[in-house]
Structure 1
Amino acid sequence: MNIGELFLHATSASARDAAYAFADAGIPVFPCLPDGKRPLTPAGFHDATTELTIVRSWWATWPRANLGMPTGAASGFDVIDVDTGDMGTGFTALESARKAGLLDGEAARVRTPSGGLHIYYPTDPDGDQRCWQSAFAHIDFRGEGGYIIVPPSTVRGIAYRLSVLRAGAQHPVDATALRELIDPRPPQTPNPRDAIHHADPDRLARWVLHLQEGERNHGLFWASCRLVEAGYSPTAIETTLGSAAASVGLSAREIASTIRSASRQGAPQTATTSPTWNEPRASTRRESDAPWLA
Structure 2
Amino acid sequence: MPRPDHIRALHTALLTALRGLPVFPLSRTKLPAVRSPHRDEPRSTDCRGECGRPGHGVYDATTDPDRIRALFAMAPWATGYGIACGRAPHHLVGVDLDVKHGADGMAALAALAGRHGFAMPPTVTVRTPSGGRHLWLTAPGPVPNSAGRLGPGIDVRGAGGYVVGPGSRTVAGHYLLEPGTARHPLAPAPPALLLLAAPPAPPSPSTGEGAAPPRHPAEKRAAALIRFVLDSREGERNGRLFWAACRAYDAGLGDALAPALVTAAVHTGLGEREAAATVASAGRLRAAVEP
TM-score, normalised relative to structure 1 = 0.54
Among the aligned pairs, what percent are the same residue?
29
Equivalent residue letter for 1:73: R
Q: What residue is the counterpart of 1:97 in the other structure? A: 112
> Any residues of structure 2 matched to 1:73-92 within 5 Å, and which?
73-74=87-88, 76=90, 77-92=92-107
Equivalent in the alignment of 1:8:
none
Counterpart CA distance in 2 for 1:23 and 1:138 is 28
Matches within 5 A, 1:202-213: none
Query: 2:19 and 2:107 mapped to 1: Cα distance?
Result: 35
Structure 2: tracts of 5 or more residues without a match: 1-6, 35-54, 224-256, 262-291
**8 Å contact 1:129–1:143 — kept in the other structure?**
yes
Amino acid at match of 2:219: R
Give the 5 Å matches for 1:1-294. Answer: 14-33=8-27, 35-41=28-34, 42-65=55-78, 66-74=80-88, 76=90, 77-99=92-114, 100-124=116-140, 127-134=141-148, 137-156=152-171, 158-163=173-178, 164-165=180-181, 167=184, 170-174=187-191, 175-179=193-197, 192=208, 282-286=215-219, 288=222, 290=257, 291=259
- Counterpart CA distance in 1 for 2:33 and 2:175 is 19
Displacement, 1:156?
Answer: 2.8
State the shift of 1:178 in Å.
4.0
Q: For structure 1, which runs of at least 5 residues remain unmatched after alignment? A: 1-12, 193-206, 211-277
Spell out, residue by residue over 1:99-124, the C-alpha distance to the aligned partner (whole angstroms, 9 max, x if none). 34434334211111111110111222
Letter matched to residue 75 of structure 2: W
Q: Distance in 2 between matches of 1:83 and 1:26?
A: 26
Secondary structure of the structure 2 residue equivalent to 1:88: coil
Q: C-alpha offsets along residues 184-210 of structure 1, whole Å, 9 cap, x if unaligned?
A: 99x989755xxxxxxxxxxxxxx6xx9
Alpha-carbon distance change, 94 to 60 in structure 1, aligned in 2, over 3 angstroms: same
Change (3 A) 1:102 1:68: same
Q: How many residues align?
A: 193
Is this contact kept in 2: 1:189–1:280, CA < 8 A? no
Relative to structure 1, is the Cα distance of residues 106 and 45 closer, same or farther in structure 2, using a 3 angstrom cutoff?
A: farther
> CA RMSD, aligned part only?
3.7
Q: What letter matches 1:46 in structure 2?
A: Y
Residue 46 of structure 1: how far off its partner (Å): 0.8
1:168 positional shift: 7.6
Cα offset for 1:128? 2.2
8 Å CA contact retained: 2:95, 2:154: yes
